């Protein structure tokens, strides 16, 4: 028993250190956002004819050098492409126009590129749509677990589950912050998957413990 308590203290100590390191990382370096979530420039290029993503990517690399670049189709007709970059100016846009004009034998480049400055998406804006639904679902699950496994102890089950869910999410955020993992479209789906995984594993553990308690009671009855 003492060994178990000691091991728990060590684990909690390690978790606390990781979270503190993450807080320091966020304070000094901030979170690392992917290109689509930080300040960027979107260039909608209306070529007016079929194009190759490979060719557009090659042209974009030549124009924007070492910048992060993302390219995707805009319309089903396959004649407009969107190029997202970290930074652009008139000189770079003119260079892009000339290269595309040359590659696809276009007559004019006047309306070829439409530029949109996209502002930085804050972390709170990413999380905000998930807060209320997650809070409601978690509250309902906590109540259910407390009632369903009341024989084990409400504080031990409901409180334990809530603690595990919170700690797992804090550790997830800590890993993202410490290792500077870019925050992108997969961050929240992975967070939800982790939430479900912790929830399922914890409830299975409670169910096994409840089954053990029932078996022990049945064995005592048989003995008498």
Judged by DSSP in three states, 48 sits in: coil
Q: What are 8's two structure tokens?
A: 């728990």
Do 133 and 102 share a structural domain?
no
Do 76 and 25 share a structural domain?
no
Q: Tell me: the pLDDT tens digits for 59-114?
A: 999 999 989 999 988 866 678 999 999 999 999 999 999 999 999 999 888 889 99
Residue 204 lies in a domain: yes
Between 109 and 206, the more confident residue is: 206
Do 147 and 90 share a structural domain?
no
Residue 223 lies in a domain: no
Do 212 and 133 share a structural domain?
yes
Residue 84 lies in a domain: yes
**Closest to 199 measured CA to CA, from 142, 136, 132, 130:** 142
Question: For all residues of the chain together, what is the average pLDDT?
Answer: 91
Do 24 and 96 share a structural domain?
no
Does 26 have pLDDT greater than 70?
yes
State the total domains in the chain.
2
Query: Given pLDDT bands bounded at 50, 70 and 90, which one contains residue 46?
Result: very high
Residue 113 lies in a domain: yes
| Contact in structure between 32 and 182 (CB atoms under 8 Å) | yes
Question: In degrees rounded to 5, what are phi and psi of residue 146?
Answer: -60, -40
Strand partners, 70: 84
Does 169 have pLDDT greater than 90?
yes
Residue 16: exposed, middle, or buried by beta-carbon count in 10 A (0-12, 13-18, 19+)? exposed
Domain boundary among 118, 134, 158: 118
Domain boundary among 78, 96, 118: 118
Do 110 and 47 share a structural domain?
yes
Do 136 and 94 share a structural domain?
no
Query: Given pLDDT bands bounded at 50, 70 and 90, which one contains residue 146?
Result: very high
Between 214 and 16, the more confident residue is: 16
């Amino acid at each position: 028993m003492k060994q178990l308590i000691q091991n728990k203290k060590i684990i909690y100590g390690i978790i606390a250190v990781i979270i503190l390191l993450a807080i320091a990382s966020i304070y000094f370096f901030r979170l690392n956002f992917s290109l689509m979530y930080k300040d960027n420039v979107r260039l909608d290029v209306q070529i007016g004819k079929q194009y190759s993503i490979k060719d557009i990517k090659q042209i974009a690399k030549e124009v924007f050098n070492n910048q992060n670049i993302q390219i995707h189709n805009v319309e089903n007709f396959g004649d407009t492409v969107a190029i997202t970059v970290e930074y652009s100016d008139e000189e770079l846009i003119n260079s892009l126009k000339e290269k595309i004009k040359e590659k696809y034998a276009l007559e004019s480049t006047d309306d070829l590129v439409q530029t949109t400055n996209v502002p930085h998406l804050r972390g709170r804006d990413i999380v905000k749509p998930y807060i209320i639904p997650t809070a409601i679902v978690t509250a309902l699950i906590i109540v259910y677990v407390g009632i369903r496994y009341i024989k084990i102890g409400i504080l031990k089950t409901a409180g334990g589950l809530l603690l595990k869910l919170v700690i797992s999410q804090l550790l997830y955020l800590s890993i993202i912050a410490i290792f500077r993992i870019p925050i992108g479209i997969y961050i929240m789906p992975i967070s939800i998957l982790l939430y479900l995984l912790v929830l399922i594993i914890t409830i299975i553990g409670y169910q096994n413990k409840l089954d053990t308690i029932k078996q022990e009671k049945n064995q005592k009855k048989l003995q008498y």
